[in-house]
Chain A
Amino acid sequence: MSAQVLQGISVSPGFALAPAVCWHPVAVEIRAEKNTDASKEWSYFQSCLPRVQQQLQDLIKKTAQELSDEEAQIFESQYLFTEDPEILSDLETEIRQNSWKSIWAVEIVFEKYAQMMAAMSDSYLRERALDLRDLKSRLQVALSLGPQALQQDAQALNEKCILIAQDLTPSDFASMDKKKVQGLVLEANQRTSHTVILAKTYGIPTLVGVVQVFEKIKNKDLLALNATRGTLYLNPSDQTKNEIQSLMERDQVEKKELQKYKDQPILNREKEIVHLEANITSVHDLPLAAAQGAEGVGLFRTEFLFLERATAPSEDEQFEIYKKVLQFNPQWPVIIRTLDIGGDKQIPYLNLAKEENPFLGVRGLRLCLRHLDLFKTQLRALLRASSHGKLKIMFPMVTNIEEIQQAQSLIKSLKQELKVTSDFQVGMMVETPASALMIPEFSALVDFVSVGTNDLTQYILAVDRMNSDLADLYQFMNPAVLKTMEKIIQDAKSHDLSVGVCGEMASDPVGAKWLMDHGVRELSMNPNSLLRIRRLLIEE
């Protein structure tokens, strides 16, 4: 076994030394196929069922421990369906009398019930269609692998490992035991994908864009990961092993060391306080943010509330979430960004058209203004929650003055309708060149701006940030991007508009330093970067 060094792009720093687990999503071929022996097929189905039930029991336990009983209920109802006499008798009929293979029988029966549920008037019941389809795929995977199914048990992750994947969906990642995942290596170069954002939140060392990783690495190969430098060692030498080991130990010491800075204020050259805030995707990120010394929430990405479900979250459901986030620390300013999605995301209930150029398409505020029901529901929930803390509402992907005028007039009329008297601020993301050039004009309409450096970089440089071939061109320290940033900051200051940064640039040591030196006093980043950036900016 010769040692080999692979390079990737570091998205979440840290070190790990553990065997590899190669994660393959199972592709199941689903087609109408008759069985040859109905009794045998039925007993085959029955022999596979207990494995799925066991999987669900494990998920119920894990979700209840890591998240909450409420979230565990999703899997509880799936479990109940696996014991359901009506479903089982329908399956038996399809397999025995209609002689379908079990994978196709599962398709027919679960689709029938899922469609019945999807047609219900009660939105809670409509959601159950999603549970049925999730269970359907779970069963089909189990049936295609057979009752022993050793291969997929790798996903149960019995031991500490470094996980290797082509790409990983957020839901697959969520179902894994994060304590076992010492490191994550993705072949796809998706620096800002949801899974990467989750990996950062959990503080898992992560590399992306490691080419041909599957050809080179097999299950159980020993790996040493230096995600801080972007290096992955396959079958590392003793020297490398020792090196990584001592880096891991130093990392532990550093983590303790960093805690000293948690409550220390950062001052810029003018002796003004610079605030560090957290980017969050759910209520669950708040305790981590607080532990890392966040002084507020600089970006709550609400799109995560809308993904992977059959219908949009109701006004009440959203209200409860926004309320929880605002109440977590009533002293914290909390920027809640309205729905920021576009045609590159799969949200079946919105019926979004496929676009040639989704990043130049109907997304962010453009999308919300075209789906007024959806937008108004979110704004109502936000306005109702505004009395529970320091709310700052923020609109994403703004290009024209008219868009902000329209959004502001919606807020105004909803405020009257709901008789909201509490104070809140309204602001916008600056991530398009158009909005960057029009700060003086926008300043009359909003209370604050926050620069989304990820999108701004891609639009200024005309570089698709998802295209791994162009990764070297996608640089927020490019002079054209920095010139734009300087203009935004100066224009905002001279028009008394507060300006923050919530993109990747704020969590990059060089980027954060540049921003502080150029007068930005609110930096928002993923919670795991907070202490390192705080130390860096204090010590400068």
Chain B
Amino acid sequence: MTEKKVLLSNETGMHARPAGQFVKLAQKYQSQVSLVFGEKKANGKSVMSLLTLGLQKDSEFLLQVDGADESEALAALVQLVESQFQVAPTT
């Protein structure tokens, strides 16, 4: 398993559109993706689960990826968040 602390810096926080982008990207990988924020843990492949974390602008969360393609997945997801969701998920 690999993990990294990530700062959410886009204006709106984790709203439906960024959450949708994140989930679509996460679903391209086999690895399990989880976000840990405070005492809550969310499934990174579920929009519902992501939204219930209530991540706002400047929230810092721990991104954990576990599986065969974990390092590529982590790198891509971190890039998406750090680019403030400007990077369209590569198809």
A349 and B19 alpha carbons, distance in the complex (Å): 26
User: CA A120 – CA B52 in complex, angstroms?
Assistant: 8
Across-interface contacts of A81 in B (CB, < 8 A): 47-48
- Whether, in the assembled complex, B9 has its beta carbon less than 8 Å from a beta carbon of chain A, the answer is no
Task: A81 to B49: give the CA distance in the assembly, Å.
Answer: 10
Interface segment among B10-18, B60-68, B69-77, B78-86: the answer is B10-18
A116 to B19, CA, bound (A): 17
Contacts of B43 in A (CB 8 A): 85-86
Chain B contacts of A117 at CB under 8 A? Answer: 51-52
Give chain A interface residues in 113-139, CB to chain B under 8 Å: 113, 116-117, 120-122, 124-125, 128
- Report the minimal beta-carbon distance from B19 to chain A, rounded to whole angstroms: 8
A76 at the interface (CB under 8 A from B): yes
Q: Which of B17, B46, B54 contacts A86 (CB 8 A)?
A: B46
* With contact pairs A84-B47, A85-B43 given, residues A77 and B20 touching in the complex (Cβ less than 8 Å): yes
A86 in contact with B20 (CB, 8 Å): no
- Verify B46–A87 contact, CB threshold 8 A: yes
Given A85-B43, A121-B54, A124-B12, also A76-B20 (CB < 8 A): yes
Complex: A113 Cα to B56 Cα, angstroms: 19
In the bound assembly, the distance between CA atoms of A81 and B16 in angstroms comes to: 10
CB-based nearest B residue for A110 = B48
B16-A76 in contact (CB<8A) = yes
A125 contacts B48, CB within 8 Å?
Answer: no
| B23 is an interface residue with CB less than 8 A from chain A | yes
User: Contacts A81-B47, A84-B48, A113-B48 given: A125-B23 contact, CB under 8 Å?
Assistant: no
CB-contacts of B28-48 with A (<8 A)? 43, 45-48
Contact indicator B52/A80 (Cβ below 8 Å): no
A421 adjacent to chain B (CB < 8 Å): no
Q: Is A77's CB under 8 angstroms from B47's CB?
A: yes
Contact B54 A80 (CB under 8 A): no
Asked if A467 lies at the interface with its beta carbon under 8 angstroms from chain B, I say: no
Q: Is the CB of B47 within 8 A of A80?
A: yes
B41 smallest CB distance to A (angstroms):
12
**Chain B hits for A120, CB < 8 A:** 52, 54
**Chain A CB within 10 Å, residue with most, of B48, B49, B52:** B48
Given contacts A80-B20, A80-B23, contact A128 B51 (CB under 8 A): yes
A73 touches B16 (CB 8 A): yes
**Bound-state Cα–Cα, A116 to B47, Å:** 14
Q: Which residue of A lies closest to B17 (CB)?
A: A73
A87 to B52, CA, bound (A): 12
- Cα–Cα distance between A76 and B45 once the two chains are bound (Å): 16
Closest-by-CB residue of B relative to A131 is B16
Complex Cα–Cα for A427 and B27 (A): 56
Determine chain A's interface SS by DSSP, over half rule: helix
B-side interface size class: 10 to 19
What separation, in Å, do the CA atoms of A76 and B48 have in the docked complex?
13
| Distance, CA A403 to CA B47, complexed state (A) | 47
A120 to B20, CA, bound (A): 19
Instruction: Report the minimum CB–CB distance from A49 to chain B (whole Å).
Output: 15
Q: Are the CB atoms of B47 and A113 closer together than 8 Å? A: no
Task: Choose from B20, B46, B49, B54 the contact partner of A125 (Cβ within 8 Å).
Answer: B54
Rounded to whole angstroms, the CA-CA distance of A355 and B14 in the bound complex is: 40
A117 to B16, CA, bound (A): 12
Residues of A within 8 A of B46 (CB): 84-87
- Docked CA distance A293–B43 (Å): 55
What is the CA–CA distance of A85 and B49 in the complex, to the nearest angstrom? 9
Bound-state Cα–Cα, A113 to B46, Å: 13
- Chain A window 68-88, contacts with chain B (Cβ cutoff 8 Å), 1 for yes, 0 for no: 000001001100110011110
Contact of B16 among A86, A113, A116, A128 (CB under 8 A): A128
Least CB distance from A119 to B in Å reads 9
Taking A73-B16, A80-B16, A80-B23 as contacts, is the C-beta distance between A122 and B47 under 8 angstroms?
Answer: no
B17: which A residues are within 8 A, CB to CB?
73, 76-77
- What B residues does A113 contact at CB under 8 A? 48, 52
- Compute how far the CA of A86 lies from the CA of B52 in the bound complex, rounded to whole angstroms: 12
Q: Are A122 and B48 in contact (CB under 8 A)?
A: no
Chain B residues whose C-beta falls within 8 Å of the C-beta of A122 in the assembled complex: 13, 54, 56
CA distance A128 to B49 in the complex (A): 13
CA distance A73 to B19 in the complex (A): 12
Bound Cα distance from A79 to B48, whole angstroms:
11
Q: How far is the CA of A369 from the CA of B17 in the complex (A)?
A: 37
Q: Give 28 A-B contacts (CB < 8 Å), ordered by A residue.
A: A73-B16, A73-B17, A76-B16, A77-B17, A80-B23, A80-B47, A81-B47, A81-B48, A84-B46, A84-B47, A84-B49, A85-B43, A85-B46, A86-B43, A86-B48, A87-B46, A87-B48, A113-B48, A116-B52, A117-B51, A117-B52, A120-B52, A120-B54, A122-B54, A124-B13, A125-B54, A128-B16, A128-B51
Among all A-B residue pairs, the 9 with the closest Cβ atoms: A86-B46, A77-B16, A80-B47, A86-B49, A84-B48, A84-B46, A85-B46, A86-B48, A80-B20
B: residues with CB less than 8 A from A are 12-13, 15-17, 19-20, 23, 43, 45-49, 51-52, 54, 56
Given contacts A80-B47, A128-B16, 17 further A-B contacts (CB under 8 A): A76-B16, A76-B17, A77-B16, A80-B19, A84-B46, A84-B47, A84-B49, A85-B43, A86-B43, A86-B46, A87-B48, A116-B52, A120-B52, A120-B54, A124-B12, A124-B13, A125-B54
